[in-house]
Amino acid sequence: MRQTTIIIGAGLTGLTAAHTLRKQGKEVLVVEKENRIGGQIRTFEEQGFVYESGPNTGMVAYPEVAELFTDLAAYGCKLLTAREEAKQRWIWKGERFHALPIGLKASVQTTLFSWHDKLRILAEPFREVGTDADESVAQLVRRRLGDSFERYAVDPFISGVYAGDPERLVTRYALPKLYNLEHTYGSFVRGAIAKMRQPKTPRDLLATKKVFSAEGGIQRLVDALGRSVGETNIVLGASNLHLQPSDQGWKAEYTQADGTVCSILAQQVVTTIGAYALPQLLPFVPQTLMEPITCLRYAPIVQVSVGFADVQGQRNEAFGGLVPSCENRHILGVLFPASCFEGRAPKQGDLFSVFVGGIKHPEVLDMNDAELTQMVLAELRHMLRLPADVQPSLLKIFRHRHAIPQYEVSSGARFKAIDALQSQYRGLIVAGNLRNGIGMADRIKQGATIIPQELADI
């Protein structure tokens, strides 16, 4: 048998895992159903605009992210971090965007939160620790910080990250760092201070709150991963892929674009695909074991990239704006990529990345292009005060049915089922964004660490 690891899916997780194994001198084969690598990550270039169909930016939240960019410099990928001037986040309230406060003075002055809640924060370190392990993000924030913080900070943040519903996302799964602040240190404030004071190794310091992309767009990251893994180690256009455990290891069978059926034997297999696609891939797994995994809900997102060739260089000095659900608008939020990074729009122009839909508005996915265009332009004009006579020179619509998995109360059972599956079928690793986090930084960290050394050492 070939001492190979098969990695299923050439998205960021699969490619990072393959890159990590290749660095250790191991043999890998990445099998991908599409004719391109990158999965949800894709950048387009047109008329002087550089725009994304999926993620726009990630956060250098773990050392693994910084280390990956260091590795990939040799393959032509250059890390870009967002301009300092564009770090401000906006929140929509009462017919205009407000800056999310940074620092004490701005926090006191902001009208986003009520005076009652601002004063309540002083008592946050002394509030009791919650006892409901499955407490939702909304419940936790209301309990510790107050209603206005839930509605005007956490709800829009959850829309921006999960396109989700804070009443249904369970804190210990969806925001484990926040959950641990309360459960390890007794309070958010005390936890944040303790974390700041903790001694840090040089490696710890690689993790920052910096927002990243890559020069030329985020696809350059996966393109560089593709080069590092090597073209010959990636199979594209593999349809009808399914796995079977056997005495000699794992047998993977798939159909190539030309109709040829291929079969490979490998020591181990790492899946990085969505929960909904696993039953077809793993037909031997009993339905009772698979059901807690496949019941995972995904938020749909429609992303609309809107470019204006000439706004006389008048750009917003911010990262973007988010919209709380209680404000009842038609968009989840809008990003300003040209404010964050050089070269994303023509010199005098501007680019917007508008997100609509999410778990609360799945019907948006079924709107046609004309309806979406009208809705998004009306919202952009109203919310950003764009003159009605200025027409976009670029408008692209991207629909994602399974955009973001929702770490709701079912997550505990899903993680247990994955553990059971992996211990029952040795050499199978079920990875991807169905666990260990949904952002690009989480995907990189998982890809870099998911394969245990004893399995890697084959």
Ligand X SMILES: Cc1cc2nc3c(=O)[nH]c(=O)nc-3n(C[C@H](O)[C@H](O)[C@H](O)COP(=O)(O)OP(=O)(O)OC[C@H]3O[C@@H](n4cnc5c(N)ncnc54)[C@H](O)[C@@H]3O)c2cc1C
Residue 428 makes contact with ligand X by CB under 6 A: no
Residues 57-96 that bind ligand X (CB under 6 A): 57-58
Q: Using CB under 6 A, which of 8, 153, 169, 285 touches ligand X? A: 8
334 forms part of the interface with ligand X (CB under 6 A): no
- Please report how close the Cβ of residue 442 comes to ligand X at its closest, in angstroms: 7
Q: Which of 18, 41, 169, 376 binds ligand X (CB under 6 A)?
A: 41
Decide if residue 12 touches ligand X (CB under 6 A).
Answer: yes
Closest CA to 226 of 412, 41, 379: 41
Given the rule CB under 6 A, which of 134-142, 193-201, 338-346, 436-444 is the region that contacts ligand X? Answer: 436-444
Report CA-CA distances (Å) from 393 to 302, 308, 352, 367, 390: 19, 5, 12, 22, 9
* Per-residue contact flags (x/-) with ligand X for residues 369 to 408, judged by CB under 6 A: -------------------------------x--xx----
Q: Is residue 301 part of the contact set for ligand X (CB under 6 A)?
A: yes
Nearer to ligand X by Cβ, of 91 and 189: the residue is 91
Q: Is 429 in the site for ligand X (CB under 6 A)?
A: no
353 with 337: CB under 8 angstroms? yes
CB of 404 to ligand X, least distance (A): 6
> How many residues at the interface with ligand X, by CB under 6 A?
36
Closest to ligand X by CB, 274 or 307? 274
Cβ within 8 Å of residue 59, ≥6 positions away: 65, 209, 210, 211, 212, 439, 441
The count of residues in the chain is 458
Helices (H) and strands (E) in the chain, counts: 18, 20
- Compute the distance between CA of residue 160 and CA of residue 341 in angstroms, rounded to an integer: 19
Site string for ligand X, 235-274 (x = CB under 6 A): ---x--x------------------------------xx-
Collect all residues with Cβ–Cβ distance below 8 Å to 53 and sequence separation of at least 6. Answer: 42, 43, 44, 303, 305, 396, 398
Is residue 32 within the footprint of ligand X (CB under 6 A)? yes
- Please provide residue 226's backbone torsions phi and psi, each rounded to the nearest 5 degrees: -60, -45
Based on CB atoms, which residue is closest to ligand X, 130 or 362?
Answer: 362
Asked if residue 440 binds ligand X (CB under 6 A), the reply is yes
| Pair of tokens at residue 38 | 């990158």
**Single residue of 4, 5, 13, 325 touching ligand X by CB under 6 A:** 13
Query: What is the distance between the terminal CA atoms of the chain, rounded to a whole angstrom?
Result: 12
Task: Enumerate the β-bridge partners of residue 321.
Answer: 90, 334
Amino acid occupying residue 428: L
Query: 274 or 292: whose CB is closer to ligand X?
Result: 274
**Closest distance to ligand X from the beta carbon of 312 (Å):** 28
Side-chain half-sphere exposure of 270, counting CA atoms within 13 A: 30
277 is an interface residue for ligand X by CB under 6 A: yes
Which residues, 6 or more positions from 455, have their beta carbon under 8 angstroms from its beta carbon?
Answer: 5, 267, 268, 427, 429
> If residue 10 lies in a helix (H) or strand (E), which one and from where to where?
none
Which residues are at the interface with ligand X (CB under 6 A)?
A: 8-14, 31-34, 39-41, 54-58, 238, 241, 272-273, 277, 281, 301, 303, 400, 403-404, 432-433, 438-440, 443
